[in-house]
Amino acid sequence: MSEILLDVQDLNVSFPSQRGTTKAVRNASFTLGRERLGIVGESGSGKSTMGRAILGLTPSPGIVTAKKITFNGENLLGRSEADWQLLRGRRMTMVMQDPKYSLNPVMKIGHQIGETCRLNLGVTGQEAQRRSLAMLDAVKIRDPDRVYNLYPHELSGGMGQRAMIAMMLVAEPDLLIADEPTSALDVTVQNEVLRILDALVRDRGMGLIFISHNLTVVSSFCDRILVMYGGKILEECKAKELHHAKHPYTQALIAAAPSLYERRAELATVVRNPEWLK
């Protein structure tokens, strides 16, 4: 991690409602280089909300405040929608969990990828098509010419996920936020998708934020891990050293997962402590 791509200091996201304000992210600070950073946590821990806030995608009425969020040295706070358009899709982007809901169902795969090229790279026609086909090939889709002309419902889950990754990566962004990109996939397909993301970080020097609830995947795939609970980053550690985690919550999460290596009579249950959020 030589240079800092993304610098987040004291990020807070809250959602006001009639019954009071929900703090979804609390004072989160971290930096990202050209590396794979994993964010783990259970549902409601604020990991997805944090990813969206970085891309300026917090839904109304959410309020985002931070001391500092910079991307390649550029300030991301208080940007107008027009300003965001220059960044999002082109230099920073996001892959979601489910291709069924994230691809346009009435638009052919090739055209969706081509649209990204036209809007963000300013290329048209044959050049957009050439790049789309090359990208489909890069995400290891066996028959790009055929898939180019298919609609999303004609693809399997793994193929749809790869098509979506192709669509996000065709503009060659510097930062990719992947929100549970492999959770809906079979394990053998999951590893293929991870290999594609891995190659992109290695070969293109992309920065990757990998959001997942799966500790096995994150600890084997990422370089560093942030553990989130109740909107707070409880612990940061090297992925390989996750099993020596210090925070009781991280230790409890590891102990609660059934193991493929050893027999456990009872699984440990997670005891939560409100003190952690102070």
Partner 1 sequence: MIDVENLNVTFKSGNALMHAVRDVSFFVEEGETFGIVGESGSGKSSVLRAIAGLIESTHSKLSINGKPTSARQARENSRLMQMVFQDPYGSLHPRHTVDSILREALIIHSIDNQDKCILKAIADVGLGVEHRYRYPHQLSGGQRQRVAIARALILSPPILLLDEPTSALDVSVQAEILNLLGRLRESYSLTNILVSHDLAVVAHLCSRIAVMQFGRIVEVISAEDLRRGKTKEAYTAELIFASRGFSRVS
Given the rule CB under 8 A, which residues bind partner 1?
42-43, 157, 186-191, 194-195, 198, 213, 215-217, 219-221, 252-253, 256-264, 266-270
Closest separation in Å from C-beta 272 to partner 1: 9
Three-state secondary structure of the chain: CCCCCEEEEEEEEEEEECCEEEEEEEEEEEEECCCEEEEECCCCCCHHHHHHHHCCCCCCCCEEECCEEEECCEECCCCCHHHHHHHECCCEEEECCCHHHHCCCCCCHHHHHHHHHHHHHCCCHHHHHHHHHHHHHHCCCCCHHHHHCCCHHHCCHHHHHHHHHHHHHCCCCCEEEEECCCCCCCHHHHHHHHHHHHHHHHHHCCEEEEEECCHHHHHHHCCEEEEEECCEEEEEEEHHHHHHCCCHHHHHHHHHCCCCCCCCCCCCCCCCCHHHHC
Closest separation in Å from C-beta 169 to partner 1: 19
Closest separation in Å from C-beta 260 to partner 1: 5
Closest separation in Å from C-beta 256 to partner 1: 4
Residue whose CB is less far from partner 1, 72 or 220: 220
Residue whose CB is less far from partner 1, 44 or 115: 44
Residue whose CB is less far from partner 1, 87 or 180: 180
Closest separation in Å from C-beta 25 to partner 1: 18
Residue whose CB is less far from partner 1, 78 or 274: 274
Residue whose CB is less far from partner 1, 4 or 270: 270
